[in-house]
Amino acid sequence: MTTPATPTPESPPASEPSTADGPGRLDVAAIRRDFPVLDQRQDGHRLVFLDSAASSQHPRQVLDAMTSFYETSYANVHRGVYQLAERATAAYEGARGKVARFIGAPSANEVVFTKNATEAINLVAGSWGRANLKAGDAVVLTLMEHHANIVPWQMLAAQIGFEIRWVPLTDEGHLDLSDLDRLLDGAKLFAFTAMSNVLGTLNPVARLTAAAHEKGALALVDACQWVPHLPTDVVAMGADFVAFSAHKMLGPSGIGVLWARSELLEAMPPFLGGGGMILNVTTEGFTPDVPPARFEAGTPPIAEAVGLAAAIDYLSGLGMDAVHRHEVELTGYALRTLKAEVGDALTIYGPSEPSERGGVLSIALEGVHAHDISQVLDTQAVCIRPGHHCAKPLMRVLGAPATARASIYVYNDTDDIDALAAALVAARDFFKL
Amino acid sequence: MSGLEDLYREIILDHYRSPRNRGELETPPAHRTEGFNPLCGDEVVVYVMVDGEGRIADIKINGQGCSISQSSASMMSAAVKGKTIDEARALTSTFKSMMSIHEQDIGGDGSEAEADPTDVTAEMKLGDLEALRGVVKFPVRIKCATLSWNTLTQALDEVAAARS
């Protein structure tokens, strides 16, 4: 995997990324050679990147695909008649098809490119929500949502006057579903995360969408932390809307995806107005185009779509089952190692069983604030994230203003966890009360 | 762990471990103002009791946050207690100029406070607060250090507005 691929938009990276090295483990040494950013030292330390839940790094295959696209095939899409523009359009639409296959979507026309998952959820709120929700209705969220799946609904609720209900959590950080049927009674939408970006909790997505449908509600799945880490099948999920971002799955920032069932998209009014989303415009008004173009006003993120397609190729080469197995095993190693090395001063939030969670470890160290943990870790080139992780309602439930969050991905291995443990011990000792 | 000692001076850790003027004051007669750092979720609550002569007769700090925000709040409370509102504002201005020191000035001997020379009352002694000078080398932490000061400014503005 040391030879950089020279992909073109039509034929993505020829070289296949490194595949599983024995059961439950990726060949991380080979994978790391694909990620130029990891090949650096900070103050003499190997860079230990444990912040992929915020944004992941990029393999050379993704960088090369985007560079090659800019060098050989860039033009605006859907407009030009010249060959360059046709190649650009083919690459952009090819990426749409690739996304559809990656998430099990029945049709590429159900894949809408957005700026990110946040915009995808705002699109559902601003289009479907505005057209279908009225005063007295209810939208059900959970207490483990990211602000991206809270604030759009609060903004709309402030205008329309519908009720927002909250699914509570158990002590171990699972959704408490004991009262779900009552919460869903009369609800129009159940919007929930597939995996908590703070606790790592993997939610029973198919069960939740079925519960919503039973009560006549639609189901929106925030799959930002799911699609990068587990095999995804939107049909098996039973979802009506699924949102995720490319930049958490080895792809570039600036592009996200809304998948929705075609009947829903066809009935939804436009979200943003502009070029590219109309069939006709007169001085009297406009006729919107069909989906997905209806929801892609303006010049879209073209090279970013090419980068996302290359990221999907890379992940597919690894195999999403293998990615998930690797992360479950490494998460288990992390739970054991951190507890053993750092001791009783350490709290790790979320489920204690690795198979019930993704590779997100929110940590509290007694007497040491998350900011201070992060600062000490930075002196050892260990990159984690302190703060509320855009989930303030959840932080209130946890009773913590902030946690220090380490999150793992395909390029992480036990040595990263060992470095994290050593740095946490240093932080504990530095601030010893 | 060089570099860390620049940030976490012993006096800072002391104020973090044993915060001064921690608690609440009854409102009224005291005034209560909350401050938030939206980036990290830190919260500080400042209670000020301003007497008839415009003097900060008492101050209490509540809330939660990192060692920098908590120690800065603690040192601030000790520094402004007993001061007039004008003196507290001058000290705030002196402290905030130290926090906005330019990159190229970092590494100086740190012997002089970066006071605003146009402000005649800015000759306030920073004292222990000098220990926070190292924070400017860690730009993301400056907001931690200034949170309580901005909250105090807001509190004093609110007190002044209520009296006018």
Q: What is the pLDDT of residue B1?
A: 47
Residue type, B159: V
Give φ, ψ of A254 to 5 degrees: 95, 0
Q: What is the mean pLDDT of residues A160-183?
A: 96
CA distance A38 to A343: 29
Q: What is the pTM of this model?
A: 0.88
- How high does pLDDT run on average in chain A? 93
Separation in Å, CA of B121 to nearest CA in chain A: 34
Residue type, A183: L
Q: What is the pLDDT of residue A60?
A: 98
Percent of chain A with pLDDT strictly greater than 90: 87
CA distance A410 to A32: 9
Q: What is the pLDDT of residue B131?
A: 82
Q: Inspect the interface and report whether the beta carbons of A376 and B66 lie closer than 8 Å.
A: no
Residues of A in contact with B73 (CB under 8 A): none
Strand partners, B45: B34, B62
Q: What is the pLDDT of residue B124?
A: 62
Provide CB contacts within 8 A for A378, sequence distance 6+. none
Residue A399's pLDDT band (cuts 50, 70, 90): confident
Q: Can you tell me which residue has the tokens 């998948």?
A: A259
Please indicate whether residue A131 or residue B108 has the higher confidence score (pLDDT): A131
For residue A326, pLDDT beyond 80: yes
Cis (ω within 30 of 0) for the bond into B29? yes
| Residue A390 is a catalytic residue | yes
Q: How far is CA B88 from CA B11, B21, B35, B61, B116, in A?
A: 21, 16, 18, 15, 15
Q: A390, A391, A417, A421: which one is catalytic?
A: A390
DSSP classification of residue A12:
-
Q: What is the pLDDT of residues A100-141, one digit of tens each?
A: 999 999 999 999 999 999 999 999 999 999 999 999 999 999
Q: In chain B, positions 34-63, which contact chain A (CB-CB < 8 Å)?
A: 39-43
Poorest-pLDDT segment among A96-110, A216-230, B129-143: B129-143
Instruction: Centre a 10 Å sphere on the Cβ of residue A203 and count the other Cβ atoms it contains.
Output: 22
In 3D space, the residue among A286, A294, A253, A298 whose CA is nearest the CA of residue A77 turns out to be: A298
For residue A66, pLDDT beyond 50: yes
In 3D space, the residue among A71, A19, A107 whose CA is nearest the CA of residue A321 turns out to be: A19
Give φ, ψ of A220 to 5 degrees: -110, 125
State CA A399 to chain mean position distance: 25
Q: What is the mean pLDDT of residues A219-234?
A: 98
**Would you identify the CATH topology of the domain A65-316?**
Aspartate Aminotransferase; domain 2 (3.40.640)
Q: Inspect the interface and report whether the beta carbons of B39 and A395 lie closer than 8 Å.
A: no
Question: For residue B49, what are its two tokens?
Answer: 């009791």
Separation in Å, CA of A351 to nearest CA in chain B: 24
DSSP string, B100-142: T--GGGTTS---S----TT-TT-----GGGGGGGGGGGSGGGH
Q: What is the mean pLDDT of residues A11-31?
A: 61
Poorest-pLDDT segment among A150-164, A402-416, B3-17: B3-17
CA distance B11 to B9: 5
Residues of B in contact with A386 (CB under 8 A): 40
Interface of A with B (CB under 8 A): 368-372, 375-376, 379, 386-388, 392, 395, 401-402, 426, 430-431, 433
Q: How far is CA B32 from CA A18, A208, B74, B80, B156, in A?
A: 59, 44, 16, 16, 10
Please indicate whether residue A196 or residue A387 has the higher confidence score (pLDDT): A196
Provide CB contacts within 8 A for A61, sequence distance 6+. A4, A5, A7, A12, A13, A15, A17, A34, A310, A313, A314
Q: What is the mean pLDDT of residues A184-203?
A: 97
Please name the member of B8, B65, B67 whose beta carbon is closest to the beta carbon of A401.
Answer: B65
Q: What is the mean pLDDT of residues B31-52?
A: 88
Q: What is the pLDDT of residue A283?
A: 95
Q: Inspect the interface and report whether the beta carbons of B66 and A369 lie closer than 8 Å.
A: yes
- The domain segmentation of chain A, as residue ranges, is 28-54+319-430, 65-316
Please name the member of A370, A386, A426 whose beta carbon is closest to the beta carbon of B1.
Answer: A426
**Spatial contact of A327 and A20, defined as CB atoms under 8 Å apart:** no
Homologous superfamily, domain A28-54+319-430: Aspartate Aminotransferase, domain 1 (3.90.1150.10)
Residues of B in contact with A433 (CB under 8 A): 17
Separation in Å, CA of B12 to nearest CA in chain A: 11
Q: What is the pLDDT of residues A76-88, one digit of tens each?
A: 998 788 999 999 9
User: Per residue, what are the HEC states of A414-427?
Assistant: HHHHHHHHHHHHHH
Q: What is the pLDDT of residue A374?
A: 92
B11 to chain A, any CB pair closer than 8 A? The answer is: no
For residue B109, pLDDT beyond 60: no
In 3D space, the residue among A92, A140, A118 whose CA is nearest the CA of residue A303 turns out to be: A92
Q: Inspect the interface and report whether the beta carbons of A388 and B138 lie closer than 8 Å.
A: no
CA distance A329 to A347: 20
Instruction: Centre a 10 Å sphere on the Cβ of residue A163 and count the other Cβ atoms it contains.
Output: 13
CA distance A152 to A161: 13
For residue A155, pLDDT beyond 60: yes
Percent of chain A with pLDDT strictly greater than 70: 94
Residues of A in contact with B17 (CB under 8 A): 433
Q: What is the pLDDT of residue B138?
A: 83
Question: For residue B134, what are its two tokens?
Answer: 């190292």
Separation in Å, CA of B3 to nearest CA in chain A: 8
Residue A23's pLDDT band (cuts 50, 70, 90): low
Nearest CA in chain B to A431: B13
Please name the member of A379, A387, A433 whose beta carbon is closest to the beta carbon of B41.
Answer: A387
3-state secondary structure of A245: strand
Residues in chain B: 164
Q: What is the pLDDT of residue A9?
A: 38
Give φ, ψ of B47 to 5 degrees: -110, 125
State CA B85 to chain mean position distance: 14
CA distance A201 to A66: 33
For residue B106, pLDDT beyond 60: no
Which H or E run includes A279? Answer: strand A278-281
Q: Inspect the interface and report whether the beta carbons of A372 and B66 lie closer than 8 Å.
A: yes
B68 to chain A, any CB pair closer than 8 A? The answer is: yes
Residue pairs spanning A and B at CB distance below 8 A:
53
Residues of A in contact with B3 (CB under 8 A): 379
Identify the CATH assignment for B4-163 out of 2.40.37.10, 3.10.20.30, 3.90.1010.10, 3.20.20.70. 3.90.1010.10
Residues of A in contact with B144 (CB under 8 A): 371
Residue A19's pLDDT band (cuts 50, 70, 90): very low
Q: What is the pLDDT of residue A24?
A: 58
**Spatial contact of A298 and A276, defined as CB atoms under 8 Å apart:** yes
- The domain segmentation of chain B, as residue ranges, is 4-163
Q: Inspect the interface and report whether the beta carbons of A370 and B39 lie closer than 8 Å.
A: no
CA distance B66 to B72: 10
Cα atoms found within 13 Å of the Cα of residue A366, Cβ hemisphere only: 9
CA distance B133 to B131: 5
Instruction: Centre a 10 Å sphere on the Cβ of residue A66 and count the other Cβ atoms it contains.
Output: 25
For residue A205, pLDDT beyond 50: yes
Q: What is the mean pLDDT of residues B2-22?
A: 84
Please name the member of B8, B13, B42 whose beta carbon is closest to the beta carbon of A401.
Answer: B42
